[in-house]
Amino acid sequence: MKIDFSQNSWQKLTPETDFEKKVLAFISEWFSASETVKVQTSGSTGTPKIFDIEKEKMRYSAKMTGDILGLQKGDSALLCLPVEYISGKMMVVRALERNLILTVKTPSAAPLEDVSEEIDFCALSPLQVENSLQKLHFFQNIIIGGAAVSETLKNKIHSALKFSEGHIIPKIFETYGMSETLSHIALKEIFPVPEAFFSVLPGVEISTDDRNCLQIFAPNLNSELLTTNDLVEIKNENQFRFLGRIDHVINSGGLKIYPEELEALVKKILPQELVFLGIPDETLGQKLVLVIEGEITETQKSALNTLNFPTKNHKPKEVIFLQEFPRIPNGKIDRQKLLQTVSKK
């Protein structure tokens, strides 16, 4: 289904799938008299909940993204994210506010399989990008959200687009944000020019609390000062680097270890999903272990053994293989369940 918001013809459309029905229902809700819409959180950092968001704030968020990416009336966009969550809802609002032509495709792990025409804008999860590498050259702008983009995936993106002569050279960004900030408040370019720091959008102020966790003040998006559990390094008033979640920090023998940093290091040589965890240990408090999804080859095992970790204490005491990781509905790894599973072994 295509919705041409530049012609305002959505009311004449007949949905053919459940997802199309949900999209049209949200558009009807958007044009209702209510000043708010309901949004469900993903549950990746706590219990899923539903809360009301002001439409005016969503419009502001859409304007920021539209301005940064230079989206114009009549440009094309693709929606392939669930509209229960802020990610899917904001794609619809961006299309509405910029009068885009929106192609609606039922969310899946590989939503770009039948894409054969150039599209100006799309938002994807890391898993969707992983399964769509040969289709990225059809897009002018891609934003990736919902989870961190691994070093492995970044390398795959560069390899896939390196020789795409005669095609669009897309701009691909990793996003930082959450439901409470109405999708992203910062972008970091991945391709063609990889950046080390996220840059915040206009009207967003950043700081850290006494734990060195990021604080966000964006009154046009949320009237409250939002304190996250994300450990960051702030470069200047507009840029920051994500280090890891404070609730993921592992304390092993008195040493604080940021698992996300170690995961990024290992993913430079291993393509599999992997997670560093701290298993309860009588001597160390928490024993550092590396959990890898699936299996690795002997060559990869040798590379892992020769990998230079920051210190000997950052090297995992044990490497565990699991056939499949537990995940929450949006595809993110459920670290808590994974820890419970591994701790029982």
Instruction: Indicate which CATH number applies to the domain containing 266.
Output: 3.30.300.30
8, 11, 84, 98: which is closest to 50 by C-alpha? Answer: 84
189 and 266 both lie in a single domain: no
190 and 263 both lie in a single domain: no
User: Which pLDDT does position 164 carry in this prediction?
Assistant: 63
92 and 191 both lie in a single domain: yes
| Residue 212 placed within a domain | no
User: Which pLDDT does position 23 carry in this prediction?
Assistant: 95
Averaged over successive runs of 10 residues, the pLDDT of the chain (345 residues) comes to 85 89 94 90 62 91 94 96 92 96 94 93 92 93 89 88 75 91 92 94 94 93 90 95 89 89 88 90 90 88 88 92 84 86 82
| Residue 215 placed within a domain | no
Asked if 315 and 289 touch (Cβ cutoff 8 Å), the reply is: no
73 and 178 both lie in a single domain: yes
| pTM for the predicted model, two decimal places | 0.81
- Domain total of the chain: 2
194 and 288 both lie in a single domain: no
User: Which pLDDT does position 44 carry in this prediction?
Assistant: 52
| Residue 157 placed within a domain | yes
- Which tokens in the block code for residue 108? 């899946």
User: Which pLDDT does position 79 carry in this prediction?
Assistant: 97
197 and 115 both lie in a single domain: yes
Q: Look at the alpha carbons of 72, 73, 78, 83 in this order and tell me if their dihedral is positive or negative.
A: positive
- Give the relative orientation of helices 55-69 and 86-98 as an angle to the nearest 10 degrees: 70
- Give the relative orientation of helices 86-98 and 18-30 as an angle to the nearest 10 degrees: 60
| Residue 255 placed within a domain | yes
Distance, CA of 58 to CA of 226 (rounded, Å): 17
| Residue 217 placed within a domain | no
- Secondary structure of the chain in HEC code, one letter for each residue: CEEECCCCCHHHCCCCCHHHHHHHHHHHHHCCCCCEEEEECCCCCCCCCEEEEEHHHHHHHHHHHHHHHCCCCCCEEEECCCCCEHHHHHHHHHHHHHCCEEEECCCCCCCCCCCCCCEEEEEECHHHHHCCHHHHHHEEEEEECCCCCCHHHHHHHHHHHCCCCCCCCCEEEEEEEEHHHCEEEEEEEEECCCCCCEEECCCCEEEECCCCEEEEEECCCEEEEEEEEEEEEEEECCEEEEEEEHHHCEEECCEEECHHHHHHHHCCCCCCCEEEEEEEECCCEEEEEEEEECCCCHHHHHHHHCCCCCCHHHCCCEEEEECCCCECCCCCECHHHHHHHHHCC
User: Which pLDDT does position 234 carry in this prediction?
Assistant: 96
CATH code of 161's domain: 3.40.50.12780
Asked if 144 and 190 touch (Cβ cutoff 8 Å), the reply is: yes
DSSP-derived pairing of the beta strands 198-200 and 239-245: antiparallel
Which residues span the domain enclosing 21?
2-202
